[in-house]
Amino acid sequence: MNIKQLKDDEVRVQIFKALADPARLEIIRVLRDKGDEMGCGEIGENLALSKSTISYHFKTLREAGLTTTRREAREKFVKLRYDTFEQYFTNFLDSL
Amino acid sequence: MNIKQLKDDEVRVQIFKALADPARLEIIRVLRDKGDEMGCGEIGENLALSKSTISYHFKTLREAGLTTTRREAREKFVKLRYDTFEQYFTNFLDSL
DNA sequence: TCTATAATTCTAAACATATCGAACTAAAAG
DNA sequence: CTTTTAGTTCGATATGTTTAGAATTATAGA
């Protein structure tokens, strides 16, 4: 187990933790279905969670590298980072 | 969000939780490298964790459907369930 | 049968995560 | 300048995860 692998695993662990929650899976699914960026509020509307909890989930996804966020006036817009999914899910076992 | 999706997400969450740990990623990597089943003891030797902790990690992987276990005499042998990886990692976003 | 080996289960602890409401920040609208 | 809107941060709490050591189970061998 070399040092590079330890670092890579930290990233993988953070990604898998981010994915290991039903609310966050749903956020990803909604963004995938839309195929484009969406406002945080619009995504959160269907989520039966407090705004602080929803904000926490967006942060978790962003810090894991699974989304990016852009501010426009008072709103924030989120989109999926397809590059991250590509990198960590395509041929997962071989790339591990 | 239909009922089938809720059930599917439970499975996904369990799989991602199982993958969100460096020791378990290492177990999977060792099995992938071997390309065949391995004894629990042999895998555990390089893991700097107590035997009870290692047993817990094997259980976590098995219960998530990522491995199967076979007993032979006093030993147990573990192997990867490639079908599960195939199902949940190939085209992850589309299948979500 | 007694002992050694391989692994699991139990118990307790230390640590991490998910959740909410309240307080806060930033920006538009009045 | 005050109010409204959109989202974040803080503090507290409940729940879940990881870990080790001790006790336990299962099996092989002397």
pLDDT, tens digit, for every residue of A43-59?
999 999 999 999 999 99
Between the CA of A21 and the C1' of D15, what is the distance in angstroms? 14
Q: What share of chain A has pLDDT > 90, as a percent?
A: 94
Q: Is the CB of B93 under 7 A from strand D?
A: no
- Check whether A24 has a pLDDT greater than 90: yes
Please give the Cα distance from A96 to B11 (Å, whole number): 21
Please give the Cα distance from A47 to A31 (Å, whole number): 13
Number of independent structural domains in chain A: 1
* Helix, strand, or coil (residue A5): helix
- Check whether B31 has a pLDDT greater than 90: yes
User: What's the pLDDT band for B11 if we cut at 50, 70, 90?
Assistant: very high
- Check whether A28 has a pLDDT greater than 90: yes
**pLDDT, position B56:** 98
**pLDDT, position B82:** 97
Please give the Cα distance from A70 to A63 (Å, whole number): 14
**pLDDT, position A52:** 98
List the single residue in B16, B93, B94 with the smallest CB-CB distance to A16.
B16
Closest CA–CA distance from residue B2 to any residue of chain A (Å) = 12
- Section B63-71 average pLDDT: 97
Residue A96, domain member (yes or no): no
Range of the domain at B51: 3-95
**pLDDT, position A3:** 85
CA B6 to chain centre: 22
- Check whether B81 has a pLDDT greater than 90: yes
**pLDDT, position A2:** 82
Between the CA of A55 and the C1' of C24, what is the distance in angstroms? 14
Q: Is the CB of B44 under 7 A from strand D?
A: no
CATH code where residue B91 lies: 1.10.10.10
User: Which residues of chain B have a Cβ shorter than 8 Å from any chain A Cβ?
Assistant: 1, 6, 9-10, 12-13, 16-17, 19-22, 25-26, 28-29, 32, 46, 80, 82, 85, 89, 92-94, 96
Residue A46, domain member (yes or no): yes
Sheet holding B75-80, edge to edge: B38-39, B75-80, B67-72
Please give the Cα distance from B51 to B58 (Å, whole number): 11
